[in-house]
Homo-oligomer: A and B are copies of this chain.
């Protein structure tokens, strides 16, 4: 086997050159949207209809088509993924002072949504296989850390009830939904899937978002499909769906003219104009996923020979949307992560690391946490690569 030291150039130079060959002269972000369908037509139709705001035919259509695609009966469209997580947690009954289990490896929204609901994130580690919460580690941690007070499970150290779990499908790769569901049921936890990155990803024949009590998707500009800004809550539970919709629309009590509101609530509904964009994007989703999966093949060919590490591939039994392509550097290259990324950025190739672990961010550093060595290791070694569907 050829040693990497025999190839010319430093790891930084070699990766930068290989990625540049894939990206070419394109400039722009790590994951850019593709507008190749009915975007302009539907936006014009939306303007002509006069309905651009929080009520309109495109909102209904987007919700219906999203629910159909995922395979759940209910979808509620909201302004973004953070808001989706927040209102879902409140609808699931999270109260101020409750702890919520969250992976240390995620975008900050997973933790901030808990905080917005008045809860306290309680961090756990992820699996080396899925990069999402590890069901076995989770069971062990909760068994050590919680005691039942009859009505619910309580953190022995803080005395606070632990009410919910929000695992995240990291970079689009599905976590072990069945395994986590079993642990959630065992400890009486509400189970909200943070599927912000995972539209178009499947575990076996099931789309992500069907293992928990509800799931949240994001349609930010850097996601597989975009509504400008947007998110959605998907669930099989009609009561939960009604509650989410009520709380995301100022809790207004239906009446022909009276303004009555029966709860402290949010103005989180997705505007019709954003949904118009979303309907056009949903029509192209299968093609986007196909391209993102094809891009994985392109990277495999370009990067394997460099022997810098391992390209993140499907976890067995799953089909990822490959939202972000990721290279896991060999252990000894971890100290060069920033040097390698800087070389790529200097060469006009957009790359980034994983998110700084949530349990070391200043606003959450005092929150309860399991030891999280896998998160630390992935954070030290992963480089996310240019991932736009247009690259394949």
Contact = CB atoms under 8 A, between A and B. Distances in A.
Nearest to A352: B257
A158 to B, nearest CB: 18
A32 B50 contact: yes
A54 B229 contact: yes
Given A109-B250, A352-B257, A52 B116 contact: no
Given A33-B50, A79-B79, A353 B115 contact: no
A314 interface: no
The oligomer's copy count stands at: 2
A217 to B, nearest CB: 14
Contacts of A262: 361-363
Interface stretch (A38-46, A148-156, A238-246): A38-46
B52 A221 contact: yes
A272 B356 contact: no
B50 A40 contact: no
A117 to B, nearest CB: 11
A81 interface: yes
A170 interface: no
A111 to B, nearest CB: 8
Given A40-B44, A43-B40, A80-B79, A228 B271 contact: yes
Nearest to A272: B228
Given A35-B50, A51-B221, A107-B259, A273 B277 contact: yes
B54 A221 contact: yes
Contacts of A83: 267
Interface in A75-129: 79-83, 107-109, 112, 115-116, 118
19 contacts: A33-B53, A40-B44, A52-B221, A53-B226, A80-B267, A108-B259, A112-B261, A118-B118, A221-B272, A228-B271, A229-B269, A229-B270, A257-B341, A257-B345, A257-B353, A259-B355, A259-B356, A260-B361, A261-B361
Interface of A: 28, 32-33, 35, 39-40, 43-44, 47-48, 50-55, 79-83, 107-109, 112, 115-116, 118, 220-222, 226-229, 250-252, 256-267, 269-274, 277, 341-342, 345, 351-356, 361-363
